[in-house]
Structure formats: C-alpha cells, structure tokens
C-alpha cells in the first residue's frame, strides 16, 4: 500500500513539474500586427485558432503565398513552402499544405466552408512539429482580398 501511495505521489509531482516547465502550454502562440508589419497583407491567407479571427491569428501567408509565419513559444518563425497546391473554393474539397522553417514543420489541412467574390473561408486543422514537441489545433481562416 505504501508503495502505491509513493507511486501516485511521484506521478502527481511530475505532473506539477511539467506544468511549471510549461510542457502543458500550447507551443503555438498568436501572431500580432506588429509581428507581421514588415510583410503587409496582399490577398494572402490567415488562419485563426478556433473560430474567432480577431486577435487570434496563428498562421499567415505573405507575398502571395510565397512565405508564411507562425509564432512558436513566443518567437516568430518564417516558413518556406514545401508542398502548397493551388487553392480552390469548392465546398467539400480537401486541401493540405506543408511548410517548414528553423526546427519547425507545419501541416495545414482544411476544406472550404464559405465562398465569396474575392475570398474563400476555410475550416481545418493545423499541426505543428518542433524538435521536441508537436501539437494540432482546430483553425478557421480565409484566403483572398
């Protein structure tokens, strides 16, 4: 009995240590306007954690999709396209993009949810892989002018 109490106590303490070390925090943090100021929006794509776009951008393309940005553990990371197919806006069609940067790989899987004259809105999942951790989050976003 004492053995199991020690085991349970050790597990609880290791959980507290992981929490203090930030291991249970999201590695993907929000990009701010300041983070993207040097690369103005030009009919590009932006994806948001969850459904709320305001102040919640976690992935943004610039230069007409030639470069992308994420913020990993508070540091803005520039990404290059690895596999980025031409986008369409047909509901139900699935897309997958892959991007990479310094010690980071991104996989963005999404489907159109709403169409417009100059933009298309999407819903999907963004997966981030670093040297030490990975995380997948639901995203919504748009591409266009």
**For residue 12, pLDDT beyond 70:** no
Q: What's the mean per-residue pLDDT of the chain?
A: 82
For residues 77 and 69, the answer to whether their CB atoms sit within 8 Å is: yes
Domain assignment present for 94: yes
**For residue 14, pLDDT beyond 60:** no
Domain assignment present for 111: yes
For residues 124 and 111, the answer to whether their CB atoms sit within 8 Å is: yes
Centroid of chain to Cα 15: 25
Domain assignment present for 43: yes
pLDDT on residue 24: 56
Domain assignment present for 2: no
In percent, the amount of the chain with pLDDT more than 90 equals 54
pLDDT on residue 49: 92
Domain assignment present for 122: yes
pTM: 0.78
Domain assignment present for 96: yes
Domain assignment present for 113: yes
pLDDT on residue 93: 93
Backbone phi and psi for residue 79, each to the nearest 5 degrees, phi listed first: -120, 145
Domain assignment present for 16: no
For residues 61-71, give the mean pLDDT: 91
Q: Give the structural domain span for 100.
A: 26-144
Token pair belonging to 46: 């932006």
**For residue 8, pLDDT beyond 90:** no
**For residue 2, pLDDT beyond 50:** no
Total of domains in the chain: 1
For residues 53-82, give the mean pLDDT: 91
């Amino acid at each position: 009995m004492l053995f199991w109490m020690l085991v349970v106590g050790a597990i609880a303490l290791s959980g507290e240590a992981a929490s203090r070390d930030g291991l249970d925090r999201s590695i993907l943090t929000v990009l701010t306007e300041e983070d993207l100021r040097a690369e103005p929006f030009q009919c590009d794509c932006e994806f948001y954690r969850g459904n709320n776009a305001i102040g919640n951008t976690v992935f943004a393309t610039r230069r007409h999709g030639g470069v992308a940005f994420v913020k990993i553990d508070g540091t803005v990371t520039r990404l290059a396209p690895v596999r980025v197919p031409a986008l369409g806006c047909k509901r139900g069609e699935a897309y997958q993009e892959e991007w990479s940067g310094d010690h980071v790989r991104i996989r963005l899987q999404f489907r159109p949810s709403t169409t417009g004259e100059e933009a298309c809105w999407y819903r999907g999942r963004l997966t981030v892989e670093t040297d030490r951790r990975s995380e997948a989050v639901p995203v919504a976003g748009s591409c266009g002018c």
